[in-house]
Amino acid sequence: MFHAILLLSAPVVAEALGSNHLQQPLTVPAFTKIPSLGFGTWNLDKDNVSQAVSTALHTGYRHLDCATAYGNQKAVGKGIAHGLKSLDLNRSDIWVTSKLWNDHHDPSLVQEALDQTLQELGLDYLDLWLMHWPVGNSPDTGKIRLDYLDAWHAMEKVYMTGQVRNIGVSNFSPAQLKDIIDNSTTKPAVHQMEIHPYLPQSEWINYHKELGIAVTAYSPFANTNPTYTPSQGDPPFLLTNADMLAVAAKRGCTTAQVALVWGWNRGHSVIPKSSHASHIKENFGALDCHLEEDDLDRIDEISKTYLKRFNNPSKGYGVRLFRGLEDA
């Protein structure tokens, strides 16, 4: 029996979809739709960014995740333009997310940041614009500090112009998300965060469902991402984890596909990335990978042995992040 994908809205609705509808989107509060499987552009091979993005579109991806901080949006934009033209697609056929970086949290700089992103990507609007982190650079010293509410209010103003169809956040703590909701007129449509079997964040995800806020998971393959420097005591690479291998063998899927199916069966979208055409296509093949309840339950148990957050720049920023999520 296929495990239901949760469609998030206000109120929350759970709906079982047939296996041929796995690429159906997750509904978010602004009544727009985000495809459950996306293509991430973080740390793509610099010489292959445009080709990778075009390949992703040709493979069938219709959700692209970008960010100013990735430093590759011009190349991503070229890949988008090539993919749309060669496939005879319209801009409205794809979902594009980007993110506001820490150095433009000053409200006077937010519009400038968006204009730069749109110019780099060659687009006239974004489907979703996220605040990348709840921190910003002090205009006086350049030092990183907690800084998000004024920037959010500036993003709300941009949202009203129509240049972004949805606004949201990334890497926020429970208190920070509550602060945004309690002191703003626009609730975040999406919260992007690190989620994988080593960091399931189940209670945190369920809280978002109650709020009607959609969730997107980055780093769905956990420590397989070469960006994360290995440290003593780390769990094994997720894609070589014994339980993941067992489920993959049982269902005739790859471990990467198993990780992605586990993700969207929990009700959130996932954004794997790769510079290699074979892996791009392999990940998209997750749409044909079917897991049963016992498979999902087995993967859920992994975090009882291994619980690890890999992306935590608290020390480098000098700011405590993810307060209240230590046991996520």
Catalytic residues: 70
Structure tokens at 314: 């608290």
Helices (H), the chain: 49-59, 73-87, 107-121, 149-161, 174-182, 202-211, 242-251, 255-265, 277-284, 293-300, 314-317
For residue 169, the SS3 value is strand
Phi, psi (degrees; rounded to nearest 5) at 199: -145, 75
Contact 23, 35 (CB under 8 A): yes
Query: Using CA atoms, how far apart are residues 68 and 167, in angstroms rounded to an integer?
Result: 15
Burial of 291 (C-beta count, 10 Å sphere; 0-12/13-18/19+) = buried
Beta bridge mates, 13: 7
For residue 74, the SS3 value is helix
Q: Which of 173, 258, 183, 159 has the alpha carbon at shortest distance from 208?
A: 173
Q: What is the 3-state secondary structure (H, E, C) of 225-241?
A: CCCCCCCCCCCCCHHHC
Q: b/e map of 101-126 (b: 16 or more CB within 10 Å)?
A: bbebbbeebbbebbeebbebbebeeb
Query: Using CA atoms, how far apart are residues 257 and 189, in angstroms rounded to an integer?
Result: 27
Give the number of other CB atoms < 10 A from CB of residue 25.
Answer: 18
Q: Which residue in the block uniquely carries the two structure tokens 């626009």?
A: 186
Contact 52, 66 (CB under 8 A): no
Contact 119, 162 (CB under 8 A): no
